[in-house]
Amino acid sequence: MAWRSIVDESLMGARMVTGLPGFLRQPQPDVATSRAELEQALRDRSRVFLELVRRGIYEYPASPYLPLLREARISYDSCAALVRDHGIEGALERLYDAGVHVTLDEFKGRRPIERGRLTVPTGSRTFDNPLPAKHFAARTGGSRSSGSRFIIDLELLAHDALYDRLFIDMFALAGRPGALWHPAPPGAAGFKWALRFARLGLPVARWFSQTPLTVRTDVKNATLIQAVSLVSTLAGRRIPQPEHVPLGDAIRVATWLADCRARGTPAWMSTTASSAVRVCLAARDRGLDIRGTFFRASGEPLSPGKAHVIASAGCEARCHYAMAEVGRIGFACGRPSTHDDVHVMTPKVALLQRSIELAGGIQVPGLVLTTLLWTVPKVMLNVELGDYAVKTTRRCGCVWDAMGLVEQLHTIRSYEKLTSEGMHFTGADLITLVDEVLPARFGGDATDYQFIEEECNGLPLVSLVVSDRVGGIDLGEVRAAVLDSLASRDGAHRMMATIWRDGGTLRVTRREPYATKAGKILALHVARQAAL
């Protein structure tokens, strides 16, 4: 790591630790205050968005969107007029049609933005928001070399905690013991949940982590978590240190949940959808009673199969929709029509849908995201997310609907990445394996290997199928080669590969890869995609 990056990240860690007491000691927002602030943010969204566009794009010479806007001959005044005449979403549709949009690979820094003769180089920091205070730099997987860098901003967490306050009230979670089962840093989901709930005066009792965190293996993140735990304890809002509980040891989590129920108050837990399934199966197999537990699921689709396993254990599950670089995009509906209904957080983001054509002529209603707040760590203007969903406007009568957040999503699926166990390996990761690594080591060519994502009894399963055309191979060696290759890229990929290894998520089988109607063999085939 270059010395400038070391200094930069050290300063961010210092800002996090020194800013934490003030963040935690702010007056706790009640339900009425939280709702009022979010309703005001909804009324202010056009003004705030245009201020972000002005300061974060037009007045920021390094913005990657400036060349696209200039190519489309759209000045700031023109953009403001579009918002005034057509609203934010209408303006974004016209910008998209004019060529102002970014693919997921471009946003992740895996390839430059290319539009005709225009080329804009990209990297891990290209889309960083120049406006927020930078408190902590984390990384998410799915990018080349060092991972996709994003910032955890305390001001944004304070904003997101307003949604959490309403969510807690909606599902009557206050007063119940809470826990996390999320990876320790460099994973960010668990860290952000712990910070937000401590901010609300509802610190979690336990933080179980699918991955270990020690000074020996990761001195930067281990030191940060120790400092945060100490400072939060002194501030009276203790954030627990993560306890390593691998996927295969879900019985430890189930035992804690059963103890909570035995004491008379079932707990709530935030974890990935498949980890929730593992806890419920472990409780069933050991005869533990965890009825009444509330799971807030994330990181992957809450599919019908997963929802059924959780409900069979007498538990309730609701899901959010989030992206590491942005945080929550959608919050669970209080009166869902399907098990995975979420309301789009329109004070914070704007979502479009555009038809995306995949290889083989398949078309899906792809989601395109724009961030609206100054404190979101990445400036996103019509960024294609690699996901698709059913998008509706439904008057459900829950608190989000009453506030005017009427856009909803359900059946959210990915077309560009694997999301099993909440770990996101993107198409670029898989293509490198299929095209180069595996043929070079085991023989055959790119059409002889394919990753298939599916689900069995509520648990995720990723199969690497290998054609019979490839000669004699040891399937265990192939599996180890895949996990070692994924883990070798950076700390975030190493964390994700560890979770797949511990969970037995990846298997290698002999069969012919699936081909599209056009005869193409894709690196990734998602077997459980639902027709929309």
Burial classification of residue 121, based on how many CB atoms lie within 10 Å of its CB (0-12 exposed, 13-18 middle, 19 or more buried): exposed
SS3 labels along 475-527: HHHHHHHHHHHHHCCCHHHHHHHHHHHHHCCEEEEECCCCCCCCCCCCCEEEC
pLDDT at position 518, please? Answer: 43
Q: Is the pLDDT of residue 139 over 50?
A: no
Whether the pLDDT of residue 10 is over 60: the answer is no
Q: Closest Cα to residue 126, out of 114, 141, 109, 139?
A: 109
Lookup result for tokens 């016209």: 94
Cβ atoms within 10 Å, residue 113: 20
Q: pLDDT tens digits, residue range 170-190?
A: 999 999 999 999 999 888 889
The confidence score (pLDDT) of residue 182 equals 93
Highest-scoring range by mean pLDDT, 23-27, 298-302, 399-403: 399-403
**Stronger pLDDT, 418 or 242, i.e. the higher one:** 242
Domain coordinates in residue numbering, the chain: 3-120, 171-318, 421-526
Query: 464 or 526: which carries more pLDDT confidence?
Result: 464
d(CA 326, CA 138): 12
SS3 assignment, position 377: coil
The DSSP code for 59 is T
* SS3 of residue 260 by DSSP: helix
Fold entry, domain 421-526: GMP Synthetase; Chain A, domain 3 (3.30.300)
**pLDDT of residue 359 exceeding 80:** no
- Of 147, 205, 204, the closest CA to residue 495 belongs to 147
How many other β-carbons are positioned within 10 Å of the β-carbon of residue 3?
7
User: For the chain, what percent of residues have pLDDT higher than 90?
Assistant: 50
CA 146, chain centre distance (Å): 18
Question: What pLDDT sits at residue 422?
Answer: 59
pLDDT score, position 149: 43
Contacts of 58 (CB under 8 A, 6+ apart): 66, 69, 75, 76
Superfamily name with CATH number, domain 171-318: Nitrogenase molybdenum iron protein domain (3.40.50.1980)
**Tens digits of residue pLDDT in 393-434:** 989 999 999 999 999 999 888 776 666 555 566 666 677 788
pLDDT confidence bin for 357, thresholds 50/70/90: confident
pLDDT digits (tens, 9 = 90+) for 253-284: 999 999 999 999 999 999 988 899 999 999 99
Q: What is the pLDDT of residue 1?
A: 44
Cα distances from 410 to residues 192, 491, 531, in angstroms, run 24, 32, 12
Q: How confident is the model at residue 245 (pLDDT cuts 50, 70, 90)?
A: very high
Instruction: State the chain's mean pLDDT as an integer.
Output: 86
Beta bridge partners of residue 410, listed in sequence order: 390
Run of H or E including 332: strand 327-332
Q: Evaluate whether 171-318 and 421-526 have a shared fold.
A: no
Q: What is the pLDDT of residue 93?
A: 97
